[in-house]
Amino acid sequence: MSFTREQLESAMSEKLSKSDTIKLRNKHIGQACQLFYRSDPLKIVRGQGQYMFDEMGTRYLDCINNVAHVGHCHPKVVRAGSLQMATISTNNRFLHDELVQCAKTLTSKMPGDLSVCFFVNSGSEANDLALRLARNYTKRRDVITLDHAYHGHLTAVMEVSPYKFNQPGGEPKPDYVHVAPCPDVYRGKYVDKEHPGEDMAELYCAPIVEVCKKLQAQGKGVAAFIAESLQSCGGQIIPPAGYFRAVYDAVHAAGGLTIADEVQVGFGRVGTHYWAFETQDVVPDIVTVAKPMGNGHPVGAVVTTPEIAHAFYATGVAYFNTYGGNPVSCAIANAVMRVIEEEGLQENARSVGDYLLKKCLEFSKEFDIIGDVRGVGLFVGIELVKNRETREPDTKSAHWVVNRMKSLHKVLVSSDGPNDNVIKLKPPMCFNQENADQFLQAFRECLAMLVKEGNDAHFMVGADAEQNTSTMFENRQRLIKSS
């Protein structure tokens, strides 16, 4: 299905001036829905590949949209979705080939016994269902999660998301949720420089072993351990080698199940493997996927073993999800998985990701403000610090860089982590070496300006960083101060 040039131009033409769009948004959209670049938000009217275009036609290099996995508006994905919309979209109580083919392809990418799918509409729904499956299978309630984790916005997944519930105004953590330290060897509970030569995986696993023992002694046991295979909201964290193996062993020994949240990091992003958990050589009991699966269309899935799926069926309560697994979503997911293969995007993530990481590491030799560079494939984090020795986070400079990159260089990056000082990159998988060079040149200019001007740089282009500081970060700072 294709559209004429006139149809496309009409779809992207401005129906409202930017200021009217802002006015209507302020009036009718809940204030809790926050914008990027709040003092000068972007109005994006078109996307193509790794680029986004605003209402003036300005092109931005997109380094942050991992959802547009195979590239914004990939023609094969658009075609598959349009064609299926023009044919039939109904629910999964009718037989449809796109549904079973999607399940077949998805499970063919999974190791072990992970062969049964439940289709959903989002990452939140996927994790919510994963918790239900685990609680049903184990007949237990207690869940272990990692500090700074985010697993979605539904009630049950907010309960296992310290990234949200630790904000002032967040719901208190239920007593059946247990938070273990995030395995961040640069800034976490155990840092590499204070534990030279020690097994960091073991150090970070020990608190989980303790929770398991405590819950067993209380006769409660563990229902599940849930974690992102690489923590993204927590600041692009790469856990130490052997961490998940040790944790999974401990959780299994306590009778619990393991849930790998691949909502951000799955589908080849890490380059060396299709799933990020594979980098740790483990096989989870349940895997949740969403975001990149639909390239912008809402589709997700929970993949598990026949045994866990059967126990859910045996309750006698049928699982029905009106939109989960509809033929349009499945046709789109099938197209996404085909494009990843056809265009060698996993390999692209590996080679471009390696190049990007190498160059950022070179920058860290030149610029003291870079405290740490970490990443795998097209999942990279650059931590900015005021002092390399103390590792004091430089949040202000991170915000400044994010804003200058956008306003001066037309490159979109974001900041994240508990201190919001990690510059985070997770671009569409078609991001190429030329794009990496564009990012690097722009980033280098920002770093050089910070060196040249010191704190005065904060008053130059991108000074709106101050106002753009996200409410989330302000809230976290208030929490730290008041505690």
On whether the CB atoms of residues 267 and 293 are closer than 8 A, the answer is yes
Per rule CB under 6 A, count of chain residues that contact ligand PLP: 16
Q: Binding residue for ligand PLP (CB under 6 A) from 52, 70, 263, 422?
A: 263
> Least separation, in Å, of the C-beta of 440 and ligand PLP?
26
Q: Strands of 257-261's sheet, edge to edge? A: 116-120, 300-304, 286-289, 257-261, 224-228, 143-146, 177-180
DSSP state of 102: H
Rule CB under 6 A: say whether 348 interacts with ligand PLP.
no
Where does this chain touch ligand PLP (CB under 6 A) — which range of 151-159, 325-333, 335-343, 408-416? 151-159
> Least separation, in Å, of the C-beta of 300 and ligand PLP?
6
Token output for 24: 């209507």
Token output for 289: 């996927």
Rule CB under 6 A: say whether 65 interacts with ligand PLP.
no
Where does this chain touch ligand PLP (CB under 6 A) — which range of 45-53, 259-267, 341-349, 452-460? 259-267
State the number of CA atoms in the 13 A half-sphere of 435 facing the CB. 26
Is the sign of the CA dihedral 262, 415, 374, 268 positive or negative?
positive
Is the sign of the CA dihedral 114, 115, 116, 122 positive or negative?
positive
Q: Binding residue for ligand PLP (CB under 6 A) from 65, 229, 232, 414?
A: 232
- Return the SS3 of 219: coil
> Least separation, in Å, of the C-beta of 298 and ligand PLP?
7
Map the footprint of ligand PLP across residues 265-304, applying CB under 6 A: 290-291
Element counts in the chain: helices (H) and strands (E): 16, 16
Rule CB under 6 A: say whether 124 interacts with ligand PLP.
yes
| Cα diameter, the chain | 69
Map the footprint of ligand PLP across residues 125-144, applying CB under 6 A: 127
- Kindly list the distances between the CA atom of residue 120 and the CA atoms of 195, 312, 333, 340, in Å, as whole numbers in the listed order: 43, 16, 12, 21
Rule CB under 6 A: say whether 403 interacts with ligand PLP.
no
> Least separation, in Å, of the C-beta of 299 and ligand PLP?
10
Other beta carbons less than 10 A from residue 307's beta carbon: 11
| Beta bridge pairs of residue 287 | 260, 303
- H helix or E strand, kind and range, residue 472: helix 471-482
Token output for 238: 């790469």
Q: Binding residue for ligand PLP (CB under 6 A) from 51, 150, 248, 431?
A: 150
Buried b (16+ CB within 10 A) or exposed e, 76-86: bbbebbbebee
C-beta nearest to ligand PLP: residue: 123
Closer to ligand PLP by Cβ: residue 123 or 353:
123
Q: Binding residue for ligand PLP (CB under 6 A) from 62, 98, 147, 261?
A: 261
Q: Binding residue for ligand PLP (CB under 6 A) from 96, 140, 151, 409?
A: 151
Where does this chain touch ligand PLP (CB under 6 A) — which range of 83-91, 117-125, 318-326, 429-437? 117-125
Rule CB under 6 A: say whether 122 interacts with ligand PLP.
yes
Closer to ligand PLP by Cβ: residue 69 or 291:
291
Contact residues for ligand PLP, defined by CB under 6 A: 122-124, 127, 150-153, 228, 232-233, 261, 263-264, 290-291
